[in-house]
C-alpha cells in the first residue's frame, strides 16, 4: 500500500488552476499561432513579465505551452481547444469554473451548517450581476447548440423552445445549421430581462423571448422540440418532475425533448465523475437540486408520456436524454 492515489489527486489541483489562470488572462488566444517571449506576452497583457513567466513555465511543464529559443507557443491541444478564435474552443466556461471551484472549497462548511455556503440565487441580484453571469455562460451555450445541431435532424422541424436556456445562445448554435427553424427562449423574467441584450450582441434579435416558469406552466405555444439544459438538476424533486411534465405540454404530438446537463449520475451513484462531483458542488450553491440518478429521469419522462428514452454523453461530459411523445 502507498499514498500514490492521494498524491496524484493533490498534484492535479495546481495544474488545473494554472490552466484556468491561462484562460482567465487569455494567453492561449493571444498566442494563437505565434511564438512570443514572456516580455511580449506580458506587454500585451499589461502584466509584469517576471511574475507572468512563472505561469508560462508552469503551463509549459504540463504541455499546454511549448518553449523554443526563449519563445512560448501553444502546444497542440491548447492550439486546438484553448484558443477562443478556433471552432473547437473548450475554454468558454472558465469564468463559471472560478465560481464552481471556489464553491467547492466550502463543501465542509455547507455540510456542517446544513445550508449552502456559496448560495446562488438571482432573486436578490441586480441586473448587472445577472447579465454578467449569463454573458459568461453564453459561449458555452453557443457551443452546446452547435454540438446539438450535429446530433439532431431538424429538417422537418418548425419550432424549437429552449426552456430555462439563460441567454439563449444554444439556439444560436442550433440555428447555424438549421437556419429556417423558429426559435423561442422561455426564461424567468429576471433572466429574460438581460437575455435580449446578450442575444443582440450575437446578432440574434429575432429569437423570441417568452417570460415564464416551467415549474408552474408550459409555454403558451406548442413546439416540435423542447430543450432543458442544466434546469432539472437545480430544482428540488417535486419541481424537477413538474419541469419535465410541463415541458411535455410544450410539445406537439410526436414532439421531441432533449434533457441535458452534467448533473446526472448512474443509478449506483458512482459515475460518471462529472455528475458525482457536481453533486458536491450543488451542496454549496443551492438549497435544493442534485445530480439525480438516471432512473429518476426516466421515471419522470415516462410519466410525462415520453417514449424511446435514450441516454448519450457529449465529449465534454454533458449527458443527454432524448425521447418523443406519442404521435
The residue with cell 423558429 is 182
Q: Are 253 and 104 found together in one domain?
A: yes
Q: Are 191 and 318 found together in one domain?
A: yes
The Cβ of residue 61 has, within 10 Å, a number of other Cβ atoms equal to 12
The residue with cell 430581462 is 193
Q: Are 307 and 257 found together in one domain?
A: yes
From first to last of its 327 residues, the chain has per-residue pLDDT tens of 889 999 999 999 999 999 999 999 999 999 999 999 999 999 999 999 999 999 999 999 999 999 999 999 999 999 998 998 887 787 767 777 888 899 999 999 999 999 999 998 766 667 788 888 888 888 889 989 999 999 999 999 999 999 999 999 999 999 999 999 999 999 999 999 999 999 999 999 999 999 999 999 999 999 999 999 999 999 999 999 999 999 999 999 999 999 999 999 999 999 999 999 999 999 999 999 899 999 999 999 999 999 999 999 988 889 999 999 988
Q: Are 72 and 112 found together in one domain?
A: no
The strand pair at 292-293 and 264-265 is best described as parallel
**CATH code (residue 280):** 3.40.50.150
Q: Are 56 and 100 found together in one domain?
A: no
In this prediction, residue 75 carries a pLDDT of 97
**What is the rounded distance in angstroms from the CA atom of residue 215 to the CA atom of residue 238?**
9
Residue 34 in grid coordinates: 505565434
CB 204, CB 196: distance < 8 Å: no
Range of the domain at 162: 94-325
**What is the rounded distance in angstroms from the CA atom of residue 196 to the CA atom of residue 312?**
31
The Cβ of residue 142 has, within 10 Å, a number of other Cβ atoms equal to 22
Backbone angles phi, psi at 227, to 5 degrees: -120, 130
CB 71, CB 61: distance < 8 Å: no
In this prediction, residue 124 carries a pLDDT of 65
- Is residue 89 in some structural domain? no
Q: Are 233 and 200 found together in one domain?
A: yes
Q: Are 292 and 251 found together in one domain?
A: yes
Q: Are 65 and 100 found together in one domain?
A: no
- Is residue 72 in some structural domain? yes
Q: Are 65 and 195 found together in one domain?
A: no
In this prediction, residue 261 carries a pLDDT of 94
Residue 59 in grid coordinates: 503551463
Q: Are 118 and 250 found together in one domain?
A: yes
Of 49, 81, 113, which residue sits at a domain end? 81
Q: State pTM to two decimals.
A: 0.87
**What is the rounded distance in angstroms from the CA atom of residue 119 to the CA atom of residue 282?**
9
Of 20, 49, 81, which residue sits at a domain end? 81
- Is residue 86 in some structural domain? no
3-class secondary structure, 306: strand
How far CA 1 is from CA of 5, 10, 233, 257, in Å, comes to 10, 18, 38, 48
Q: Are 69 and 143 found together in one domain?
A: no
In this prediction, residue 123 carries a pLDDT of 63
Nearest to 105 by CA among 13, 20, 15: 13
How far CA 196 is from CA of 69, 93, 142, 193, 271, in Å, comes to 48, 21, 15, 7, 37
Instruction: Please write down the long-range contacts of 211-214, taking CB distance under 8 Å and 24 or more positions apart.
Output: 211/186, 211/187, 212/186, 212/187, 212/188, 213/188, 214/163, 214/164, 214/186, 214/242, 214/243, 214/246, 214/247
In this prediction, residue 171 carries a pLDDT of 97
Helix pair angle (49-61, 4-25), 10° resolution: 130
**CATH code (residue 68):** 1.10.10.10
**What is the rounded distance in angstroms from the CA atom of residue 117 to the CA atom of residue 112?**
10
Total domains, the chain: 2
DSSP 36: B
Amino acid at each position: 500500500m502507498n499514498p500514490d492515489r492521494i498524491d496524484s489527486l493533490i498534484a492535479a489541483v495546481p495544474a488545473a488552476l494554472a490552466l484556468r489562470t491561462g484562460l482567465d488572462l487569455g494567453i492561449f488566444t493571444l498566442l494563437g499561432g505565434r511564438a512570443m517571449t514572456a516580455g511580449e506576452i506580458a506587454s500585451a497583457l499589461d502584466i509584469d513579465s517576471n511574475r507572468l513567466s512563472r505561469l508560462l513555465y508552469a503551463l509549459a511543464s504540463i504541455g499546454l505551452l511549448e518553449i523554443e529559443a526563449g519563445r512560448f507557443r501553444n502546444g497542440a491541444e491548447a492550439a486546438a481547444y484553448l484558443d477562443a478564435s478556433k471552432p473547437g474552443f473548450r475554454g468558454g466556461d472558465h469564468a463559471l469554473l472560478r465560481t464552481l471551484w471556489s464553491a467547492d472549497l466550502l463543501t465542509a462548511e455547507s455540510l456542517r451548517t446544513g445550508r449552502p455556503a456559496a448560495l446562488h440565487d438571482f432573486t436578490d441580484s441586480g441586473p448587472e450581476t445577472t447579465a454578467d453571469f449569463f454573458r459568461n455562460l453564453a459561449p458555452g451555450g453557443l457551443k452546446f447548440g452547435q454540438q446539438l445541431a450535429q446530433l439532431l435532424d431538424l429538417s422537418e422541424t418548425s419550432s424549437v423552445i429552449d426552456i430555462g436556456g439563460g441567454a439563449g445562445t444554444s439556439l444560436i448554435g442550433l440555428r447555424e445549421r438549421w437556419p429556417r427553424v423558429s426559435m423561442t427562449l422561455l426564461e424567468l423574467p429576471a433572466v429574460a430581462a438581460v437575455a435580449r441584450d446578450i442575444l443582440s450582441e450575437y446578432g440574434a434579435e429575432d429569437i423570441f423571448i417568452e417570460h415564464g416558469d416551467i415549474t408552474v406552466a408550459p409555454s403558451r405555444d406548442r413546439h416540435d422540440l423542447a430543450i432543458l439544459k442544466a434546469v432539472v438538476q437545480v430544482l428540488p424533486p417535486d419541481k424537477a418532475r413538474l419541469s419535465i411534465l410541463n415541458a411535455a405540454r410544450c410539445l406537439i404530438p410526436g414532439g421531441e425533448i432533449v434533457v441535458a446537463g452534467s448533473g446526472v449520475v448512474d443509478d449506483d451513484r458512482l459515475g460518471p465523475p462529472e455528475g458525482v462531483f457536481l453533486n458536491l458542488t450543488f451542496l454549496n450553491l443551492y438549497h435544493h437540486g442534485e445530480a439525480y440518478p438516471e432512473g429518476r429521469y426516466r421515471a419522470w419522462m415516462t410519466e410525462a408520456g415520453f417514449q424511446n428514452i435514450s441516454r448519450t454523453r457529449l465529449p465534454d461530459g454533458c449527458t443527454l436524454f432524448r425521447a418523443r411523445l406519442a404521435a
